[in-house]
Amino acid sequence: MAESKAKGSANPERHKLPIKSILVTQPQPTTDNSPYLSIAEKYDIKVDFRAFIEVEPVPFKEFRKDKVDILAHTAVIFTSRNAVDHFFRICQESKIEMPADMKYFCISDQTAYYLQKYITLRKRKLFVGEKTAKDLFEVIKKHKNEKFLFPCSNIRKDDIPSFLATNKIKHTEAIIYKTVAADLSDLDDVTYDCLAFFSPSGIHSLFINFPDFKQNNTRIAAFGPTTAKAVRDAGLELDIEAPMPNAPSMTGAIEVYIQNQMQETKK
């Protein structure tokens, strides 16, 4: 990326420069009511979307090497749509039909709803957390005698496996897909005033693609504490951190930053 040629070195005067362009390191929204588009229109800002990470399936032959016996488990934990998709891909390739009494534990209503793409759900076999892994822990505790299967990526948070191990709950991890850096070579000569990141993998992808990245006037936004830590660990300065008490979303935090800039300019 232009302005991206040597790690760190943020310009302390960059906060005085207005944000006129933002690169959101996620796929393009599929609807026209994205809050990013509202910001673009409200503040006359160019907003582009580009996924910095990609998901690759773990080939069935590679999965078999781990000798995971899916049907030896009585419950499955799902934390994302990717996990659902790749789990049932593996089942199909294994010619496995999930038994009617299998229990499913989903991190959110969205994941649970998506699960219906593959199976007909019975309420007594579906258990859903409110939103976070911690919410799901309370549900799992009530079913601690189940043998859990946790389909996941090669890059995942430690919270669920740690919880299961600490509480001596029988479980098996199954890596069924991989999170890898996307090819961003076409962005080599492109400059943005703000880069918005949502996972440590996004920061990793930035430096895989642009190992000599220099922050200069670019503002860095991060969602979540692990992403914020990855920004700082990479030697970058974090300018916009979400969620905040007055801005629970990334767009809200970016808008607060823009409004603060506008107020400073008026002084």
> For 118-127, what is each residue's pLDDT tens digit?
988 766 689 9
pTM: 0.77
Which strand ranges, in their side-by-side order, compose the sheet holding 219-223?
Answer: 46-49, 21-24, 194-197, 219-223, 240-242
* Residue 235 pLDDT level (bands cut at 50, 70, 90): very high
How would DSSP label each residue in 75-127?
Answer: EEEE-SHHHHHHHHHHHHHHT----TT-EEEESSHHHHHHHTTTS---GGGEE
pLDDT at 231: 97
Identify which of 147, 181, 149, 151 has the alpha carbon closest to the alpha carbon of residue 81: 151
Please tell me the least confidently modeled range out of 8-22, 65-79, 201-215: 8-22
| pLDDT (average), residues 155-167 | 90
pLDDT at residue 157 is higher than 50: yes
| pLDDT (average), residues 161-173 | 95
**Residue that has been written with the tokens 């049907």 in this structure:** 71
Average pLDDT, the chain: 90
* Residue 267 pLDDT level (bands cut at 50, 70, 90): low
pLDDT at residue 174 is higher than 50: yes
**Residue that has been written with the tokens 């309370």 in this structure:** 138
Do the beta carbons of residue 197 and residue 221 sit within 8 Å? yes
How would DSSP label each residue in 146-165?
Answer: S-EEEEEESS--SHHHHHHH
| pLDDT (average), residues 50-54 | 95
C-alpha span between 158 and 138 (Å, rounded): 17
Count, residues in the chain = 267
Provide the 8-state DSSP code for 59. Answer: P
At residue 224, what are phi and psi to the nearest 5 degrees?
90, 150
pLDDT at residue 213 is higher than 80: yes
- What structural domains does the chain harbor? 56-180 (3.40.50.10090)
pLDDT at 2: 45
C-alpha span between 150 and 39 (Å, rounded): 38
